Amino acid sequence: MKTLDLTRTLYTVSDFVSWQKSKTLVLSPSFQRRPVWNPGAKSFLIDTILRGLPIPIIFLRDQKTDLKTLLAKREVIDGQQRIRTILSYVCPKDLNDYNEANDTFKIKRVHSKELADMGFRDLPNDLQQRILDYQFSVHVLPSSVDDREVLQVFARMNSTGVKLNDQELRNANFFGEFKTLSYNVSTEYLEHWRKWSIFTEYNIARMEEVEITSEFFIMMLKGVIAKTQNAIDNAYAEYDENLPERDELGKRFRHTMSTIETRFGDSIRLTPFHKKTLFYSLFSSIYHLAYGIGSPLTSKSKPKPVTAIQSNHMLKCADKIEKKSAPEAVIDATSLRTTHLTSRKALIEYLTNSKLK
């Protein structure tokens, strides 16, 4: 049985910069499997490095030493976009095919307010050094490994993975305002998702709490309560570069969650509201009572208090839903597609005892 004798090691950004300057680094487009990154993705990578957070393993393949220059070369077979992004930030003119329009970028404000619009040379010296000293985990294949074997390695790596769901794909493709807000705010409430039994650890690992948070922001922005994956995709794209209502969205989300905590506490996990689809109706109902679904997102809008009478009404409704004694339309809404407009509308109207427009 043939075995692969690869080397597992660490290399710094400085190592890759030095190899690029000496023309001993080969960025291999033949193994490129993803489209060229946009400026948001590039900014996100630099911010990740500055924060000292890990990134996926880089795969290199040794090439035979050049007999004329006597220099050893290394070929990047997986991680080209990551390496190219770093080189285009640190030493762009050293790229053989440098293109100013495609390669030049700066850190975006959504990733770091303090370092927004800064290139590498704009950074303080200590941060420049932090980037250069950052260590990659690298797997190095020997030069004896041919292209067919490289592709077999990738095929094995991909065959054991779980197919990405819609939200995980969004997380991989967007790096701007809406994605960052949804991710950061949902993460603030990890303990709430857990103690209310809204999501399991597996659900959280698959970013389902981020998806429902995104849905809440869409409801606030557009007054839309129906759920389709296309609608969520469109919101991520529409608000990727600019989301002027960001602060107000965050404030309203936190107020709504705080109201749920105050009025229901840990008892949510003992009611039908702990189910993800019904929690959507509870959150939207509380938001509707406080602000009104479809209301303008202005900081001057003050939320109305949600009273004990209103929250007790919701608990009674939940009990009737559980006992199947609620109105037929409501029972149908909980047993059919609870992501549809008519189902969600029926549930919110039942919980709030008010008609939606």
Q: Helix or strand or coil: residue 268?
A: helix
Mean pLDDT, range 279-301, rounded to an integer: 93
Report the distance separating Cα 13 and Cα 87, nearest Å.
Answer: 9
- Residue 29: per-residue pLDDT: 64
For residue 100, give every residue at least 6 positions away whose Cβ sits within 8 Å of its Cβ, in sequence order, or none: 92
pLDDT band at 4 (very low <50, low <70, confident <90, very high): confident
Examine the pLDDT at 148 and tell me if it is beyond 70: yes
**For the whole model, what pTM was predicted?**
0.85
CA angle 313/316/322 to nearest 5° reads: 145
Q: How far is Cα of residue 161 from the mean position of the Cα atoms in its chain?
A: 19
3-state helix, strand, coil in the chain (%, to 5): 55, 10, 35
Choice between 40 and 343, residue whose per-residue pLDDT is larger: 40
pLDDT digits (tens, 9 = 90+) for 45-70: 999 999 999 999 999 999 887 777 77
- Domain ranges within the chain, ordered by starting residue: 7-159, 166-352
